[in-house]
């Protein structure tokens, strides 16, 4: 299988596989959304099946819930779990402080609620997601459909006084209709180029009526597991200030995706 995977997919896979090692028996685990998180869910499903791992998984989207159930993970709601031991999720960008941009997959609201309700959040990402300065990836902002054009105008007006390079906003589409999140909202993507002050941006965005949540995750992520296309992984722990290097081999038994790739 490994020969058929692109270097980015390999990087995502090794990050997910290494992060799965942090999951222990009895844990309540937040399951992220996106292609990297999907690798994680499959790795955990494999551990449930082959090693008898016993966990409860709290998914951050309907599609993750479906995948988790399909691979044999015991899925519960956040209300049932109340608090989680660990959440593992992908990201669209992360910086040195482990501030994140998330929401490229449209699940930022549930992702932020679940990550915030966890003792620990680990981000899994290919090295391409690592940035010096956040903002090249458009910042997703979840807004309610009612009066969305007014909300958009307010956001654009607010951006004038913020330290950013670009101020274009686009309504995320699903074909010819606006994209609808699992919570029934829309997403505005803010093409900022560079975010000078992420903390200020996050706070100000969330004060605008009509804005439900923004995709900046600040002081939420504890560790990042960065994957490389050659199997190398780097584990950075922001609290301990440590960087650990590891390497994973692509084994035939890692072939979690045979069914998808055939």
Could you list the residues that contact ligand 5RP (CB under 6 A)?
Answer: 32-37, 89-92, 102-108, 111
Q: Is 213 a catalytic residue?
A: no
- Which residue, 144 or 154, has its beta carbon nearer to ligand 5RP? 144
- Least spacing, CB of residue 253 vs ligand 5RP, in Å: 23
The two structure tokens encoding residue 233: 């992984």
Task: Decide whether 154 or 212 has the Cβ nearer to ligand 5RP.
Answer: 212
Q: Which is nearer to ligand 5RP, 45 or 215 (CB)?
A: 215
Q: Which is nearer to ligand 5RP, 150 or 170 (CB)?
A: 170
Greatest Cα-to-Cα distance within the chain, rounded to the nearest angstrom: 55
- Of the pair 31, 47, the CB lying nearest ligand 5RP is at 31
How far apart, in Å, are the Cα atoms of 110 and each of 34, 66, 173, 253? 13, 15, 20, 32
Residues composing the chain: 262
* List of residues 6+ apart from 231 with CB closer than 8 A: 10, 14, 247, 248, 249, 250
Backbone dihedral region for residue 202 (phi beyond 0: left; psi -120 to 50: alpha; all else: beta) = alpha
Q: How far is the CB of 164 from ligand 5RP (least distance, A)?
A: 20
User: Please, what is the minimum distance in Å from the beta carbon of residue 123 to ligand 5RP?
Assistant: 8
3-class DSSP state of 29: strand
Among candidate residues 111, 132, 168, 253, the one labeled active-site is: 111
Q: Could you tell me the smallest distance in angstroms from the CB atom of residue 111 to ligand 5RP?
A: 6
Structural tokens at position 10 = 């390999």
Partner residues linked to 58 by β-bridges? 30
Q: How far is the CB of 125 from ligand 5RP (least distance, A)?
A: 7
Other beta carbons less than 10 A from residue 94's beta carbon: 23
- Element holding 118 (H helix, E strand): strand 118-126
**Which residues does the annotation mark as catalytic?**
111
């Amino acid at each position: 299988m490994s020969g058929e995977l692109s270097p980015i997919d390999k990087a995502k896979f090794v990050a997910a596989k290494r992060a799965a090692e942090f999951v222990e028996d009895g844990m309540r685990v937040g399951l992220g959304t996106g292609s990297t998180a999907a690798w994680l869910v499959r790795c955990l499903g494999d551990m449930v099946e082959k090693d008898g791992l016993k966990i409860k998984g709290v998914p951050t989207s309907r599609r993750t819930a479906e995948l988790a159930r399909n691979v044999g993970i015991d899925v519960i709601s956040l209300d049932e779990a109340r608090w989680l031991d660990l959440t593992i999720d992908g990201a669209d960008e992360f910086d040195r402080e482990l501030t994140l941009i998330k929401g490229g997959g449209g699940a930022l609201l549930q992702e932020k609620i679940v990550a915030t309700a966890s003792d620990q959040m680990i981000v899994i990402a290919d090295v391409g997601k690592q940035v010096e300065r956040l903002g090249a990836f458009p910042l997703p902002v979840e807004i309610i459909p009612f009066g969305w054009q007014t909300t958009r105008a307010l956001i654009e007006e607010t951006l004038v006084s913020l330290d950013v390079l670009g101020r274009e906003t686009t309504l995320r589409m699903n074909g010819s209709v606006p994209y609808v999140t699992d919570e029934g909202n829309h997403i505005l993507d803010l093409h900022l180029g560079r975010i000078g002050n992420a903390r200020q941006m996050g706070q100000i965005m969330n004060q605008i009526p009509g804005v439900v949540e923004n995709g900046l995750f600040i002081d939420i992520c504890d560790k990042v597991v960065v994957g490389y296309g050659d199997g190398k992984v780097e584990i950075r722990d922001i609290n301990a200030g440590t960087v650990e290097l590891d390497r994973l081999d692509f084994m035939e038994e890692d072939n979690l995706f045979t069914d998808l790739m055939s």
